[in-house]
Structure 1
Amino acid sequence: MRLVRPYTLFRVSVMMAWLVLFGLLLKRDYFIDTLRQREAQVLEQHAQESFLGVYFNAARIGYVKNSFTQTVESEITLTQEAYLLLNILNEHHPVRMRGRAFLTSGYLLKEFSIHFESPFYRMDATGEVEGTTVHFVIDTGKERITDSVSLNSPPFISTNRRAYLLDASLHEDSKIKVPYFDPILLTGQDAVVQYKGRDKQIIQGRIYNLHRFVESYNNIRVSSWLNDEGLVVKEETPAGFVFIAEPEFRATEISKNGPELLSSVSVPLAGTMPDLAGRKEISFRLQLPENSVFPALDNDRQHREGDILTVTLEDLPDETAQVCQGQSAELSSTSYIQVESPAIKQMALSLIAQAPTPLEKVRTLSQWIYLNLEKRPVLGLPDALTTLGSRKGDCNEHAALFAALARSAGIPTRVVAGVTFHAGAFYYHAWNEICMGENWISVDTTKNELPADLTHIKFVHGEIGEQLKIGALLGKLRVAIAE
């Protein structure tokens, strides 16, 4: 059996951390008074620059640079640059982002361009806003995707300038709803922001009396501290990341030996994992964040009762079993699972040519992906066509490519995400499920498991937007053996 390096199993752990780090999680809340846009103050200088140092476990691992320029028409150009040096199992992975956005005087988005680059991945995107719809084009070098996102109202881009949150009528515990567009994930939703009043913070030896806000989306809470001008002085995100406003010379002094990332988002197991050989069932006791909702926990091979989750290993259907009917969504093509791509179709047909049954097709496709993808951490937005071309990736790339090939072969397939066990702890992970014989059956092409072992605990179904909901679990999920 081919050896799998630990980081290849836990791509979602890394992805979750750096996306949270950039504040790039989907924002979904549907209540509370909508933000009343304040008049933007005139910029004091023709161009203004500011820096935020990015810290992880007290070590500076990157920075974000914001530059604002105002035109004679009172429109604003935002130029943003970010750099991270991520330590993943003691290998350093630089992540770079450059972007430009044209904003109205009230910081509403008009158009943007962005370049994102990490080892083995790059993405360029451009877009513009028409009313409440953002039209965009993504180019990964392998695939060009054209799409649009419809919002409830014209979108903001979240920057370190948030004077629009400081309203004269603001009072402690008041809540506002801010429509944001994320130009990296290319998604848009409303975020609920709650004002927590004045809060004294000691930052790098100085005492500040700041305005504290807590932004909530998908049960994820990000705390921000603003000065009286609405500039972000400090921001804390899940998994231990902190942004601090500081001068350029300090923000750009990056630690070359930053703390290891994967271990920070692992979930230690309370108790001893029993020998799984021959076992058909196992029970765990889960401790989840307050008010979190994960319907997939009580679904398919998983049964939840209170804080006890029981996982039952699926029986594979016999060789004559047919695929499930009525699963059109799990057969469809999406922006990142390109079922209709000629390259995907051709590869799927060539691989399953000698597979007589649906189950044999699943085995063939799963085995081919396991053996033919170089198992490397790829920090980017996974899509099947890019992965087919690069033949590199870890669990999210494996899951996206398997979904595209299997759907092209007529097998209803979905991507799922949750945690799986390795070396004494649970790590965030992505895998697949196929529908056959009227049942959903787990498939892990990263580990070559059909069905996936009993330590795979599913929290969500779906692509990147759904997977990011498990960001709410970072630092809060607890798992214990319940036997």
Structure 2
Amino acid sequence: MRKAKLTALLLTFFLLFSVCSYAAVSQYDNFDNSKTEQGSVGARYVPASQRRIKTRIQNSIDKYDYDLFGRENFEYFPLQLGEGSYKVTIFENVISNRYRQVRAQNIKVTIKNLLDVFKASVQTVNWNSDMEVIKKAGELTQNLKTDKEKVVAIYNYVIDTYGYDYDKIKSIDTTYVPNIETIYQAKKGICYDYSAVFAAMLRSQNIPTKLIKGYSDLVNGYHAWNEVYLADEDRWIVIDTTYDSVLKKGNKKFSMEKDRSKYKASREY
């Protein structure tokens, strides 16, 4: 009898603990839609245990999946699929590669200026004005007038200053997201790092810049580069700072603007 009471007491405690844990997870909003007009949406989720969390941003045409690291803090993701109806879902890992849906919302998105999507601070291009690398962008462009001049100045800085990290590429994790301040201090990185730093520096100067992932005829394997919008010329140009940095250090010829036909994008941020 005493054993049965003890079992019942333990079960009650377990249920109460589970409810309290779930309540701790659910006591705040999991989505922030305050920036959707500027082209991004926020998500956060605190699991009851240390499990991998993912979020999916999708519309009727395509979907983008991201790891969600922020826990209590919102992380922001681009609405690069344009205006219209989106579903934003948060998934929690159950076992192996299986996930369960834990939160979801449907939103109708109207973006004031579609170029704003590629000026925002988001998970893949995460920046703010207090960062040293962003202050550097301001120093490089302070006396320049046109977007083209600013792009060239930051481009030259990146390809001159940063080196390719051949050791890092051997051990990179699939969940990796660049930290531009860490890269700024190290002065080296992989193509994803180059592209994130370049995009962040240009975005801080109000220049729309995409971080692109895909394949190039010029590079073996999966690659990352940028597309930059030149307002003065009303066009997007392809720039590959990683490729040019390697060529420059090898004393080989190159040009900043790349032939678009040699690049095949699969994802853009």
Q: Does 1:338 align with 2:144?
A: no
In structure 2, C-alpha distance between the alignment counterparts of 1:147 and 1:435, rounded to whole Å: 28
User: How far has the Cα of 1:353 moved from its partner?
Assistant: 3.0
User: How far has the Cα of 1:382 moved from its partner?
Assistant: 1.3
Partner of 1:450: 256
Task: Give 4+ residue runs of structure 1 displaced > 6 Å after superposition.
Answer: 74-77
In structure 1, C-alpha distance between the alignment counterparts of 2:122 and 2:182, rounded to whole Å: 14
Deviations 1:161-181 (Å, cap 9, x if unpaired)?
Answer: 97xxxxxxxxxxxxxxx6357
Bigger relative contact order (CA 8 A; separation at least 6): 1
Partner of 1:432: 226
Q: Check 1:110–1:372 CA distance in 2 against 1; reply closer, same or farther (3 A cut).
A: same
From the CA coordinates, give the structure whose radius of gyration is larger.
1
Q: Secondary structure at the match of 1:342?
A: coil
Identity of aligned residues (%): 21
Q: Secondary structure at the match of 1:111?
A: coil
Q: Check 1:161–1:330 CA distance in 2 against 1; reply closer, same or farther (3 A cut).
A: closer
In structure 1, C-alpha distance between the alignment counterparts of 2:143 and 2:156, rounded to whole Å: 14
Q: TM-score, normalised by structure 2?
A: 0.54
- CA-atom RMSD in angstroms: 4.1
In structure 1, C-alpha distance between the alignment counterparts of 2:225 and 2:179, rounded to whole Å: 14
Q: Secondary structure at the match of 1:363?
A: helix
Q: Secondary structure at the match of 1:381?
A: coil
Q: Check 1:157–1:346 CA distance in 2 against 1; reply closer, same or farther (3 A cut).
A: same
Q: Does 1:179 align with 2:100?
A: yes
User: How far has the Cα of 1:327 moved from its partner?
Assistant: 1.4
User: How far has the Cα of 1:431 moved from its partner?
Assistant: 0.4
Partner of 2:204: 408
What one-letter code is carried by the residue in structure 1 that aligns with 2:203? R
Q: Does 1:111 align with 2:52?
A: no
Equivalent in 39, 47, 70 of residue 137 of structure 1: 70
User: How far has the Cα of 1:135 moved from its partner?
Assistant: 8.9
Residues 75, 122 of structure 2: 8 Å contact kept:
no
Equivalent in 89, 93, 108 of residue 157 of structure 1: 93
User: How far has the Cα of 1:331 moved from its partner?
Assistant: 1.4
User: How far has the Cα of 1:408 moved from its partner?
Assistant: 0.9
Aligned length: 183
Deviations 1:409-453 (Å, cap 9, x if unpaired)?
Answer: 12111111110135xx85211100111122111111101252224
Equivalent in 139, 158, 183 of residue 369 of structure 1: 158
Q: Secondary structure at the match of 2:229?
A: strand
Deviations 1:117-170 (Å, cap 9, x if unpaired)?
Answer: xxxxxxxx99xxxxxxx99637xxxxxx921699658x44231497xxxxxxxx
Residues 237, 257 of structure 2: 8 Å contact kept:
yes
Q: Check 1:76–1:360 CA distance in 2 against 1; reply closer, same or farther (3 A cut).
A: same
**Within 5 A, what are the aligned runs for 1:192-203?**
none
Q: Check 1:430–1:135 CA distance in 2 against 1; reply closer, same or farther (3 A cut).
A: closer
In structure 2, C-alpha distance between the alignment counterparts of 1:392 and 1:458, rounded to whole Å: 24
Equivalent in 144, 147, 166 of residue 74 of structure 2: 147
Deviations 1:211-268 (Å, cap 9, x if unpaired)?
Answer: xxxxxxxxxxxxxxxxxxxxxxxxxxxxxxxxxxxxxxxxxxxxxxxxxxxxxxxxxx
Q: Secondary structure at the match of 2:93?
A: coil
In structure 2, C-alpha distance between the alignment counterparts of 1:370 and 1:416, rounded to whole Å: 18
**Within 5 A, what are the aligned runs for 1:382-397?**
382-397=178-193
Higher strand share: 1
**Within 5 A, what are the aligned runs for 1:171-320?**
179-180=100-101
Residues 123, 177 of structure 2: 8 Å contact kept:
no
Residues 47, 92 of structure 2: 8 Å contact kept:
no
What one-letter code is carried by the residue in structure 2 that aligns with 1:111? A
Partner of 2:27: none
Q: Check 1:445–1:75 CA distance in 2 against 1; reply closer, same or farther (3 A cut).
A: farther
Residues 152, 179 of structure 1: 8 Å contact kept:
no
Q: Secondary structure at the match of 1:73?
A: helix
Consecutive unaligned residues in structure 2, runs of 5 or more: 1-10, 23-45, 54-66, 77-86, 105-112, 245-254
Consecutive unaligned residues in structure 1, runs of 5 or more: 1-69, 78-101, 104-108, 115-124, 127-133, 139-144, 163-177, 182-187, 190-324, 463-483
Deviations 1:52-94 (Å, cap 9, x if unpaired)?
Answer: xxxxxxxxxxxxxxxxxx99616999xxxxxxxxxxxxxxxxx
Q: Secondary structure at the match of 2:199?
A: helix
Q: Secondary structure at the match of 1:458?
A: strand
What one-letter code is carried by the residue in structure 1 that aligns with 2:73? T
